[in-house]
Structure 1
C-alpha cells in the first residue's frame, strides 16, 4: 500500500504528534509499504538520509506564537509533483488545519480516501493565540467538522473516541494508540542514564517526560513533587522536556528549597530518552489534556510504576496493577502522599513495575501499525464504489470539488461566527458592574 501522511509537526521537532507519525511511518516501511510524509521544515539535527528520504518538506513559519505548530507557506510546485509521482492509495491527515486542508484537497483531486487522526484536544492550546476564549469554541468545532469531511477517523484512546462522538463526529471510527518500541525501552541502560544526568546509583528518582507548558498541569505536578522532595533530601526529580514553563518550574522548586534536587535535562530522543526513563524509579504525570498517555506507556515499557491523575488518555493505561490512578479532584498533597507510599514500599513498587512491563505490550508499535493498516483497508473497501463513480463522471468530480471547498469554507465560517456571537451574547448578558454612584 502507498500511504501519504500529512502533518504540521514532524522530526526533528520533538513532540507527541511528530513521534506518532514517525513511529507509524517507519513501521509501515518495515512491513513493506511505501510511505510519503509531507511536513514543514524544522530546525534541529537533520534526520539520517534514509529517514529523510520519505519526507517532502514544505516551507513554514515555525513554532507559531510559542506553540508546537508550524504555519505552512503557499503550496510548492515540487510538492504537487512528488504527490503526483507517488500515487497514494490513501491520504492520512494528522491535523484539521494547514496541511490538513491540503490533505482534503489532495485526496479529492487524486480520488483516494482520507483518514484523520484526532491527536489533540485543541481547545487546551488556545492560550497560544489572541482571543483565546472566543477561539476555544472554534478549537472544538473545527476538528469535528474536519473529521466529518474525512472517510475515516482514528482516535488514540477510548476517552477521545467518546468525546468526539459526543461532539458530533459521525465518520467511521477506530481506536488505535500510537505504538512504542517496547523492547527498546525495556532494554535501555539504566546505569548510563544515571551517569549522563549526574545521579548516584542509590538515589530515588521520580521522573517526568513532556513539554513544559501550561496544558501539562505543571504547577500541580511541581507542587506535589517538591513536597515529596522536602521529605527526601537524597531523592531527585528528573524532568525530560522543555518549554515556556521551565522558569516557573525552577522558581517553584527554589521556593520550596529543593532546587538542587531538580534536574531539568531538556529534550531527549532515541537512546538518550529511553535511558532517561530507565534512570527513574517512579513516573509522575498530572496532565489533564492528553488524548493518549503515550509517555505513560513508554514509562511502563521501561518498567516504571506510574502515579497519575484520572484523565482522558491516561485512564486507559494506568490501573491498580501498574500504578496509582488518583481521582481528578486529588490535591498536590494527595499526589505527594502517593509518591511517598510507593517510595516507602519497594515490594509493591516492584510488583507494579512487573505489571507495567506486562501492560506495555498492548501498546507495541507492531500491534498498533497492524490495526491502522487494517482500518486503511476497511476505508478503501467502503469508498471504492464512490471513487469509481468519481472517475467515470468528470461532472460529478467537479461538483465534489466545489462541494468540498464550500464545506471547508462554511465549516470555518459557521464555527467562527458561532464562537464570536456566543461570546458576545455571554458578555452582553453579564450583570452590569456597579457604578460608583450605586456603591454609595
Structure 2
C-alpha cells in the first residue's frame, strides 16, 4: 500500500504528533508498505529516512516554537500523482491538512484524519486575550474542525475521552475508530538507566521525570511548585524535565524563585533513541498537563516501568487507573506533592505500581495497533469508492468550557 502522511510537525521537532507519525511509519515500512511524509521544512536539518518531502516554512511570531508550513510546492504537486497513492492520512485539519484534503479530492483518494490535538485550547497563542475575542476564535475553530471532518472518510481518535468529546460536543456520528499511538516496547526492554544516573550524578537522588514541550498548555508551573513542596521534606528528591520550548526560560526562573534550581534538571530536547534510557534512570513519572488527547508521554513512562503521579485529566485518565499504576489527583501543587510523598513513603506500593504500569503498557504494542490502522485504511478505501463520508451533526452550540483539554 502507498500511504501519504501530511503533518504540520515532524522531525527534528519532538512531540506527541511526531512520535505517533514516526512510530506507525516505522512499523508500516517494516511490513512492506511505502509511507510518504509531507511536512514542514526545517533549517539545518537533513532527513535520514527516505520518502520525506518538505514544504517551505516560516518562523512566524505565533508563540509556538515550530516553523509554520507554507502549503505551496510545485515539486510536490507534480510528485503526488506519480507515486500512485492508495490513501492520504492527515494529522492536522489546518495548513497541510487542507492541502491533504485538496489532494484527496483532486485524485479521488480516501482521506483519513487523526484528531491529535484539542485545537481550541491553543487559541491563547492568538494575541487577543479579551474573553469575547477568545470565545469567538474558539467557536470558529470548532466550526472549521467540524467542516474538515466532513471531508474525510474516517476519523482516528487516540483515546476514549476524546471519542466522547467528538461525539458529544462536536456531533461526530460515524466512521471513527479509537486507535491510540503505540509504543516500541523493545526500545524500553533493552534500555538501561544506570549510565545516565552515573553521567548525571544522580546515584543518590530520587528522580521524578517528565517530558513534553515547554509551553503554557502543559501546566509545568504546577509540577514545579509540587516539586518544591516535596523537596522541603525529601532533600534528595530531583525533578528532571525532558523537552524544550518557548517557556523554558520562564520555568528556569521559576525554579530559581522557588529555591530549587539545584534540584531541577532541564535536559532540553532528546532524541527518540535517548528517551528510554532517561526514563529508566528515574524512580517515578510526574505529569500535570490537562491538554492531552491520549497521554502518550505517560504511556512511554509506563513502558519504562515507572509508577505515575499525574493530574486527573482526559488522555491521562485513559492510560492510567488511579490506585493501580499510580495516582490521579486534582490540578494543584498540594495534591500532586501529597501523592508523590505518599508514593515514595511506601516502596512496596511503588514496586507494585511499577509492575502494573509495565504490564499495562504491553497492551499498547505498536504492532497490534498498526494492524488496526491498516483496517481503517482498507475501510476508508471502500467508503471512498461508495462515496461515503464522515457525518457530523453538531449540537446547537459547543460551550467554551466543554473541552478541558501536540
Q: Would you call these one fold, judging by a TM-score over 0.5?
A: yes
Between stretches 254-263 and 1-10, larger displacement belongs to: 254-263
The correspondence for 1:81, drawn from 78, 81, 87, is 78
Between stretches 72-81 and 213-222, larger displacement belongs to: 72-81
User: Which whole-Å CA distance do the structure 1 matches of 2:115 and 2:387 have between them?
Assistant: 24
Matching of residues 307-326 of structure 1 within 5 Å: 307-319=309-321, 320-326=323-329
The correspondence for 1:181, drawn from 164, 178, 184, is 184
Change (3 A) 1:33 1:98: same
Q: Say yes or no: does 1:123 pair with 2:120.
A: yes
User: Which whole-Å CA distance do the structure 2 matches of 1:381 and 1:304 have between them?
Assistant: 42
**Paired position in structure 2 for 1:94:** 91
User: Which whole-Å CA distance do the structure 2 matches of 1:183 and 1:228 have between them?
Assistant: 33
User: Which whole-Å CA distance do the structure 2 matches of 1:211 and 1:70 have between them?
Assistant: 15
Change (3 A) 1:20 1:330: closer
User: Which whole-Å CA distance do the structure 2 matches of 1:188 and 1:58 have between them?
Assistant: 35
User: Which whole-Å CA distance do the structure 2 matches of 1:108 and 1:41 have between them?
Assistant: 24
Which SS does the other structure have where 2:172 is aligned? coil
TM-score, length basis structure 1: 0.84
Change (3 A) 1:241 1:67: same
Q: Say yes or no: does 1:247 pair with 2:229.
A: no
Q: Confirm or deny: 8 A CA contact 1:309 1:330 kept in the other structure.
A: yes
Q: Say yes or no: does 1:106 pair with 2:103.
A: yes
User: Which whole-Å CA distance do the structure 1 matches of 2:21 and 2:343 have between them?
Assistant: 35
**Alpha carbon RMSD of aligned pairs, Å?**
2.1
Q: Which has the larger radius of gyration?
A: 1
How many residue pairs are counted as aligned between the two chains? 386
Please give the per-residue CA displacement for 1:173-219, whole angstroms capped at 9, x wherever unaligned: 000111111121232121122234x2332311011101111101112
**Paired position in structure 2 for 1:224:** 226
Higher relative contact order (CA 8 A, sep 6+): 2
Which SS does the other structure have where 1:372 is aligned? helix
Please give the per-residue CA displacement for 1:288-331, whole angstroms capped at 9, x wherever unaligned: 110010000000000000111111111111112211112xx453
Please give the per-residue CA displacement for 1:233-262, whole angstroms capped at 9, x wherever unaligned: 122111101112222322322222221000
Q: Confirm or deny: 8 A CA contact 2:65 2:246 kept in the other structure.
A: no
Q: Say yes or no: does 1:378 pair with 2:375.
A: no
Change (3 A) 1:97 1:69: farther
Q: Confirm or deny: 8 A CA contact 2:41 2:69 kept in the other structure.
A: no
User: Which whole-Å CA distance do the structure 2 matches of 1:98 and 1:271 have between them?
Assistant: 30
Q: Confirm or deny: 8 A CA contact 2:231 2:237 kept in the other structure.
A: yes
User: Which whole-Å CA distance do the structure 2 matches of 1:129 and 1:223 have between them?
Assistant: 27
Q: Confirm or deny: 8 A CA contact 2:288 2:331 kept in the other structure.
A: no
**Displacement of 1:91 after TM fit?**
0.5
Please give the per-residue CA displacement for 1:32-64, whole angstroms capped at 9, x wherever unaligned: 11111111112354332xx1x111111111465
Which SS does the other structure have where 2:147 is aligned? helix
**Paired position in structure 1 for 2:404:** none
User: Which whole-Å CA distance do the structure 2 matches of 1:69 and 1:146 have between them?
Assistant: 23
User: Which whole-Å CA distance do the structure 1 matches of 2:141 and 2:65 have between them?
Assistant: 15
Q: Confirm or deny: 8 A CA contact 1:148 1:170 kept in the other structure.
A: no
**Paired position in structure 2 for 1:59:** 56
Change (3 A) 1:278 1:63: farther
User: Structure 1, unaligned stretches of length 5 or more?
Assistant: 388-399, 401-417, 424-440
Q: Say yes or no: does 1:33 pair with 2:33.
A: yes
**Paired position in structure 1 for 2:300:** 298
**Displacement of 1:358 after TM fit?**
0.4
Q: Confirm or deny: 8 A CA contact 2:159 2:178 kept in the other structure.
A: yes
**Paired position in structure 1 for 2:15:** 15
User: Structure 2, unaligned stretches of length 5 or more?
Assistant: 390-396, 401-406
Matching of residues 137-148 of structure 1 within 5 Å: 137-148=139-150
TM-score, length basis structure 2: 0.90
**Displacement of 1:382 after TM fit?**
2.4
The correspondence for 2:213, drawn from 207, 211, 214, is 211
Q: Confirm or deny: 8 A CA contact 1:120 1:291 kept in the other structure.
A: yes
**Displacement of 1:140 after TM fit?**
2.6
**Paired position in structure 2 for 1:24:** 24
Which SS does the other structure have where 2:328 is aligned? strand
Q: Confirm or deny: 8 A CA contact 2:65 2:245 kept in the other structure.
A: no
The correspondence for 1:265, drawn from 267, 276, 282, is 267
Which SS does the other structure have where 1:336 is aligned? helix
Matching of residues 270-285 of structure 1 within 5 Å: 270-285=272-287
